[in-house]
Chains A and B, each alone.
Chain A
Amino acid sequence: MFLVGSFFLFAAFLITTCIFVIFSKNPVNSVLFLVLAFLNSTFLFILIGAEFVGIILAIVYIGAVAILFLFVVMMLDIQITTLMFNIKRYIPLALLFAGIILAEIIYLTVFKTSKDNLDTFIRSKNNTEQIGDVLYTEYFIDFQLSGIVLLLAMIGAIVLTHVYRPTIKRQNIESQNSTTAEDRVKLVKIKPGEGIKDD
Chain B
Amino acid sequence: MTSLSFELTIGILKIFSFVVPVLVSVALLVYLERKVLGAVQLRKGPNVVGPFGILQSFADVLKLLTKENLLPSSSNKFLFIFAPMLTLILSLIAWAVIPISSTYVIANINIGILYLFAVSSFGVYGVIIAGWASNSKYPFLGALRSAAQMISYEVSIGFVIITVLICVGSLNLIDIVESQKNMWFAIPLLPMFVIFIISALAETNRLPFDLPEDEATLVAGFFTEYSSISFGLFFLAEYANMILMSSLTVILFLGGWYPPIDIFPLNAIPGIFWFVIKVFLILFVFLWVRATFPRYRYDQLMRLGWKIFLPFTLIWVVITSAFLFYFGLLPN
A residues within 8 Å of B by Cβ?
A: 28, 32, 35, 51-52, 55-56, 58-59, 62-64, 67-68, 70-71, 74-75, 125-126, 128, 171, 173
A140 to chain B, nearest CB (A): 16
Whether the pair B147, A59 counts as a contact (CB closer than 8 A) is: no
Q: A59's closest neighbor in chain B, by CB?
A: B118
Q: A28-B132, A55-B111, A126-B110 are in contact. Are A63 and B118 (CB under 8 A)?
A: yes
Total CB contacts across the A-B interface at under 8 A: 59
Task: State A126–B175 Cα separation when bound (angstroms).
Answer: 14
B residues within 8 Å of A by Cβ?
A: 79, 109-111, 114-115, 117-118, 121-122, 124-125, 128-129, 132, 140, 143-144, 147-148, 151, 154, 171, 299-300, 303
Can you list 11 A-B pairs, Cβ within 8 angstroms, ordered by A?
A51-B109, A55-B111, A59-B117, A62-B121, A63-B118, A64-B121, A68-B151, A126-B110, A128-B111, A128-B171, A171-B299
Whether the pair A35, B125 counts as a contact (CB closer than 8 A) is: yes
Interface class of chain B by DSSP: helix
Q: A28-B132, A171-B299 are in contact. Are A67 and B147 (CB under 8 A)?
A: yes
Whether the pair B125, A55 counts as a contact (CB closer than 8 A) is: no
Chain B residues near A52 (CB-CB < 8 A) = 111, 114
Whether the pair A55, B132 counts as a contact (CB closer than 8 A) is: no
Whether the pair B129, A32 counts as a contact (CB closer than 8 A) is: yes
Chain B residues near A173 (CB-CB < 8 A) = 300, 303
Whether the pair B115, A55 counts as a contact (CB closer than 8 A) is: yes
Whether the pair B151, A67 counts as a contact (CB closer than 8 A) is: yes
Whether the pair B114, A63 counts as a contact (CB closer than 8 A) is: no
Q: B304's closest neighbor in chain A, by CB?
A: A173
Starting from the known contacts A51-B109, A67-B125, A173-B303, 6 additional A-B residue pairs (CB-CB under 8 Å) come to A28-B132, A55-B118, A63-B154, A67-B124, A67-B147, A71-B144
Task: State A74–B144 Cα separation when bound (angstroms).
Answer: 9
Task: State A67–B147 Cα separation when bound (angstroms).
Answer: 7
Q: A63-B118, A63-B122 are in contact. Are A70 and B128 (CB under 8 A)?
A: yes
Chain A residues near B129 (CB-CB < 8 A) = 32
Task: State A71–B124 Cα separation when bound (angstroms).
Answer: 11
